[in-house]
Chain A
Amino acid sequence: MSNTSKKQRWWNNAQYRSLFFQVLLVAMVAGFFWFIGSNTLHNLEKRGIATGFGFLSQKSGFGILQSLIPFSEADSFGRVFLVGLVNTLLVSVLGVIFATIIGFTMGVARLSNNWLIAKIATVYVETFRNIPLLLQIFFWYFAVLRTLPGPKQSWAAGEIAFLNIRGLYLPQPIFGDGFGYVTLAFVLAIIVTFIINRWANKRQQDTGQQFNIWGVAFGLIIIVPALVFFAVGAPLTWDMPALRGFNFQGGMTIIPELTALLTALSIYTATFIAEAVRSGILAVNSGQTEAASALGLHRSKVLKLVVIPQALRVIIPQLTSQYLNLVKNSSLATAIGYPDLVAVFAGTTLNQTGQAIEIIAMTMGVYLFISLTISAFMNWYNNKTMMVER
């Protein structure tokens, strides 16, 4: 055996061979992409189209309706990218939160024993799940929010909040010196509550004695920061919106474009989440519920300790897909003028600079990154809730 192997040429060795073909494949793939890249660059140069990322530091010179970070016309296209990204993240995060709340509520409601509640939930799911999202966005923006009155006829709640076709105007909190201590107290209170909760759970498992956490939690999270707030001299003032000239000035504005997009995204995605929740709950064998009831557990405990942990295993993978869909669907913002990444960066910036390849590549990269991050987080959470086999 060893004799023959010594005589064997190296290219007849299976290990070397497979390695060789691996290397060849990698080289071919790399060569293919190199070819595509160099061909593109050559063609762009030949046609006199500017390339490179230098445009990101150029002055943008246009205004953006909503920006969570400071932005003016004098800022660069790179800043525009950030503003768009933050706006996309804003609508995505809020959308995920609202869609989850509505979705879980509706999913449970569909299984309710109350005939009316169950039917209302069914009608909701079947209606909003089956209408294209773009139409729903248009519906909320053009049909619903456009019926609001003009600025001078605003609907007012006292002299504090105003609602009109330009948006919802609210007082903006202005934090004075020392407000950081209040925030610090709040964060510390949450951490301490969390630790007490773990201790209480452990004690219950060890000794069976229960500890009512709610009173302690309320005291820590609400009263302690409030005491600190007054101790440092109430460092909080409000910037009130007021009608000056054409529009309300001051305060915070929630623009109707955000409201319409957020409403449409949440309501549409929530229908799918509701179905995922329903399927998850139905997937838990009814024997489990009956067994838990037989042990004398209260109905709420049955749900919390027996049904939901098992249902989550079915729900989470579907939930992940729906979150990803919501983030990607948020790019429909451009249809109603919400300044998200696609509208301000892949739209206006692309048109002002003409550098389609770089801008579209960056935009696609951002969505890919956001989606992969969500996916990774949800996979981690999924692994955590998976059945532990003993």
Chain B
Amino acid sequence: MRKITWALVATVVTLVLTAGFAQSSTKEEVQKRGVLNCGVSTGLPGFSIADAKGVWAGIDVDGCKAVAAATLGDATKIKYVPLNAKERFTALQSGEIDLLVRGTTWTLTRDSSLGLNFAGVNYYDGQGFMVSKKLGVKSALELDGAAVCIQSGTTSEMNLADYFKEKKMTYKAVVFDTHDATAAAFDKGRCDVLTSDQSQLYGLRTHLSKPEDAIVLPEVISKEPLGPVVRQGDDAWLNIVKWTFNAMIEAEELGLTSANADDMKANSKSPAVRRILGLEGIGGKGLGLKDDWSYQVIKQVGNYGEVFKRNVGADSPLKIERGLNALWSKGGIMYAPPLR
């Protein structure tokens, strides 16, 4: 009798324990739900920002759209979850979001100790400084003793400390929660310098009361590869996100755009183009998606070049040069492994 009781207890405990651990695959969950929960910033021009009507746009938002197009076949089926820098990893770890595309720098600590995986790089950035023209500062080396506004929970905080220490300069860090609060404090003169990734500085400058009074200093003090992040331990989902971004870069290489995708699908003889459109080759079998997954990404969102130009490049108020973010064949470092 006693033995049976103990066996029963042991079984129940084991069941309860394992039930808690069983994780269903993110892909299936997203497809069942019919909506992708995507973590973005609380508002950063060019990267992820909602307009007056609540429509989200930006290079990071397009990343969310591309994954939704690949997984669900519809780039509009997304629930955007605005997160500040401090909340973002917890939101992903806890399963509140399926994917984080929020200007997140890929670092060893984050990749290895937070239970997260980086799926690639959608923007190569570097940390810079913005100052008021009135100060007459031409170089970051003249910033000794400055008060620096900065967003909390970012790699910028650490880089700043390293840079000033290395150059034997002192500073006062004034730390805020969101991009908006940081920029507003800089605007009002609470600090001399605003530091963040350079792309963000250009974006935030458009929000100042007098954008033309601020300049971005030439120094870039760090490497900031920004990319999409997923939970560790779900390799199928990691593959989907990784190859969605690769497909957008490959499409740019092949000259495939949202405008000519249908035409190419009907007429192109190029094997590489036919492969990316799902007409030949492995298609979506390896990823567990429909064969036209990458066609949907290109048709509904566009290739990487289009996304860049529309959000942060020539067609946007930010007017950022392609620089490092140009294709490898055009002097940049954007390079996708072959889709075959």
Contact = CB atoms under 8 A, between A and B. Distances in A.
A230 B75 CA distance: 80
Interface string A243-274: 01111010000001100000000000000000
A239 interface: no
Interface residues of B, number: 49
A246 B115 contact: no
A356 B90 contact: yes
B115 A49 contact: yes
Nearest to B165: A73
A337 B144 contact: no
A62 B189 contact: no
A61 B152 CA distance: 13
A348 B153 contact: yes
Contacts of A247: 145-147, 172, 192
Contact of A44 (B115, B154, B172): B115
A61 B188 CA distance: 27
Contacts of B16: 35
Interface stretch (B27-35, B173-181, B289-297): B173-181
Identify which of A42, A46, A64, A245 gathers the most chain B CB atoms within 10 Å of its CB. Answer: A245
B188 A146 contact: yes
A47 B112 CA distance: 11
Contacts of B112: 48
B231 interface: yes
B115 A352 contact: no
Given A46-B233, A348-B152, A62 B177 contact: no
Given A73-B161, A339-B175, A354 B145 contact: no
A47 B232 contact: yes
Contacts of A352: 109, 153, 157-158
A347 interface: yes
A48 B174 contact: no
A101 to B, nearest CB: 29
Contact of B161 (A61, A257, A339): A61
Contacts of A354: 89, 93, 109-110, 113-115
Interface string B193-219: 000000000000000000000000000
Nearest to A335: B177
A46 B174 CA distance: 37
A343 B175 contact: yes
A63 B90 contact: no
Contact of A47 (B153, B176, B233): B233
Contacts of A64: 173
A50 B113 contact: yes
B238 interface: no
Given A166-B190, A348-B175, A42 B21 contact: yes
Nearest to A164: B189
Interface residues of A, number: 44
A63 B172 contact: yes
Interface centre among A166, A256, A348 (most CB of B within 10 A): A348
A40 to B, nearest CB: 9
Contacts of A183: none
Contact of B158 (A44, A48, A61, A344): A61
B188 A62 contact: no
B171 interface: yes
A63 B161 contact: yes
Contacts of B191: 166
A306 B147 CA distance: 55
Nearest to B113: A50
B192 A246 contact: yes
A150 B158 contact: no
B160 interface: yes
B233 A337 contact: no
A34 to B, nearest CB: 11
A253 to B, nearest CB: 9
Contacts of A249: 145
Contacts of A337: 152, 174-177, 181, 185
Contact of B145 (A44, A61, A246, A339): A246
5 contacts: A48-B232, A246-B146, A247-B192, A347-B86, A347-B177
Given A337-B152, A337-B185, A350-B86, 10 more contacts: A35-B13, A47-B233, A61-B157, A73-B162, A247-B145, A335-B177, A336-B176, A347-B152, A352-B109, A354-B115
Interface of B: 13, 16-17, 20-21, 85-86, 89-90, 93, 109-110, 112-115, 135, 143-147, 152-154, 157-158, 160-162, 165, 171-177, 181, 184-185, 188-192, 231-233
- CB-CB nearest 8 A-B residue pairs: A351-B153, A49-B115, A63-B173, A47-B115, A73-B161, A354-B114, A50-B113, A62-B157
